[in-house]
Amino acid sequence: MKKELLRMNELEKYEGIKECISTKGPKTRYALKLGITVRHLNRLIHKIKDKGKKGFIHGNRGREPKNKNDAVFVENIISKIKEKYLESNKSCLIGNINHIKDLLFEYDNINVSYATLYRILMKNKIQSPKIQRKTKRRLKKEELLATKAKKIDTLKVDKIVDNIIQIEDAHPTKEKKQNFGEEIQMDACSKTWNSAFFAHLHLAIDNCTGMIVGGFFDNQETIKGYYNVFKQILTNYGIPMCFKTDKRTVFTFESSKQKNDENNTMIQFAYCCKTLGCELQCSSIPQFKAMIERANGTFQDRLNTELRIHNITSLKDANDYLINIFIPKFNDKCALDPKLYNSVFVPIDKQMIDYHLSILSRRVVLKGCIISYKNNKYYMLNDYDERILFSPGTKCLVIETLNNELFCNIDNQTYHLKLFTGNENFIYGNQRTPFEKREKKHSKPPITHPWRLSNYDSFQEAYNPHKKAQY
């Protein structure tokens, strides 16, 4: 006859009931001692008389749980993962486990919990690229012990594993802002996306909610990419309170000889922030903008996986998928609801966004009233499409808007620039059209207008007072 082994709690009840039967003591005392009622004590007395020691074994012992996943379900998950979601080495996922769980539900209609999927992957020795150091260390230890036939000292194994896996110190966390739009962190990361095209991903994230407020792919990390991100922010939300960026020349310029705050000259993007009343903070320390650094890592993982699944191989298609599909889906899943927080975004006229996001360049009027810009020549027109003439050597400010329109600012007056093809009349001499009185008057731009030449000069002189503006 097979000997029945009881667990500790079952053995305690068995010994207590056996003592109660043998001594015939008061049932209330033994019920209090075992932590049960007298009624249940009577049930256990009848059970030990009918079944003996076997009656104290739990009825579910040895049974498989009813909610256990069947072999067909597990095999279906493994086949889908091996077919679509594995790297070339067939031992690592193309994304983290939580992301793969979402992809299985979205594209394969397989609803599985994180814990179940984790157990299935670990059983089949499939790892996540974001595996924790603790788990990685344990798997390395098991693998090392499995490869050795002889017994190895545990301390020796731990020492070997510690040499394989470097343990890094955790960085302290920072408190988040309390208002939506109080701080926007911006940065760019470069990567060969989907093994098809190399591009720089420009991102902007709100510090309060963790919401991605803008994103754009570009060939290089230039002001064009950041301007497109800024345009998304201005269009969808408004003017933020503050930007945090690194010390790229897009945001700031420092002289190699004198690196101090007094001689720090901020250009283009900073001037745009100045005219819109938005503060710009720059630092070369990654922890200064830790949230966007973490978001870059997440996007390099998740976005690259989804670009691979949808077979997106061009820059234009990647931008369409990023702005219209991936960012809204990412915010719904990972970001907090901005409606729960106070918004400090300032509304802006959407028709003027492209004009605020302009690139300013100093130029001089050449002979023939021609302006040279980006290897092309242009001439000036007023609001009546009449050509305007200025003397050679006249200082001007060329404005290139985000929608590729060109303007010229002279004496706080703005004129349109039209490409000079050579078929137009070439003007010689020091000629200048007199200002005629018209019914339509030219309004003088305010001092805060981004196209004021004097305002742009004073902005630069404030950061570099020892160097005058050169044309």
Band (pLDDT 50/70/90 cuts) for residue 430 is very low
User: How high is the pLDDT of residue 161?
Assistant: 60
pTM metric for this prediction: 0.65
User: How high is the pLDDT of residue 85?
Assistant: 85
DSSP state of 325: I
User: How high is the pLDDT of residue 347?
Assistant: 92
Question: 213: Cβ–Cβ under 8 A, 6 or more apart, which residues?
Answer: 184, 204, 205, 206, 232, 233, 236, 237
The residue that leads in pLDDT, 184 or 152, is 184
Tokens of 408: 């010229």
Mean pLDDT on 283-302: 88
Tokens of 200: 């720089």
Beta bridge partners of 362: 397
Band (pLDDT 50/70/90 cuts) for residue 364 is very high
| pLDDT tens for each residue of 193-239 | 988 889 999 999 999 999 999 999 999 888 889 999 999 999 999 99
233: left (phi > 0), else alpha (psi -120 to 50), else beta?
A: alpha
Question: 253: Cβ–Cβ under 8 A, 6 or more apart, which residues?
Answer: 264, 265, 266, 267
On the question of pLDDT at 423 being above 90, the answer is no
| pLDDT tens for each residue of 300-345 | 988 988 998 899 999 999 999 999 999 999 999 989 999 999 999 9
CA end-to-end span of the chain: 105
Question: 117: Cβ–Cβ under 8 A, 6 or more apart, which residues?
Answer: 77, 97, 100, 101, 104
On the question of pLDDT at 431 being above 70, the answer is no
Residue 407 CA to residue 416 CA, distance in Å, equals 5
User: 213: exposed, middle or buried (C-beta count within 10 Å: 0-12, 13-18, 19+)?
Assistant: buried
Per the CB < 8 A criterion, the answer to whether 125 and 132 are in contact is no
Query: For 56-70, 111-125, 297-311, 421-435, which range has the lowest pLDDT when averaged over its residues?
Result: 421-435
Please report the sign of the dihedral spanned by the C-alpha atoms of residue 261, residue 264, residue 270, residue 275. Answer: positive
To the nearest whole percent, how much of the chain has pLDDT over 70?
82
If we measure between CA atoms, which residue out of 184, 188, 221 comes closest to residue 203?
A: 188
Band (pLDDT 50/70/90 cuts) for residue 75 is confident
Q: What is the mean pLDDT of the chain?
A: 81
Provide the CATH number for the domain formed by 179-351 in this structure: 3.30.420.10
β-pairing verdict for 342-343 and 179-180: parallel
Helix axes 269-276, 453-463, angle to 10 degrees: 110
Tokens of 323: 């702005």
> Among all chains, which residue has been given the structure tokens 């790892």?
127
User: How high is the pLDDT of residue 88?
Assistant: 73
User: How high is the pLDDT of residue 265?
Assistant: 45
To the nearest whole percent, how much of the chain has pLDDT over 90?
23
E strands in 116-272: 179-180, 184-193, 197-206, 212-218, 242-245
On the question of pLDDT at 163 being above 70, the answer is no
For the chain, give every domain's residue range: 8-56, 71-164, 179-351, 358-440
User: How high is the pLDDT of residue 320?
Assistant: 94
Band (pLDDT 50/70/90 cuts) for residue 173 is low
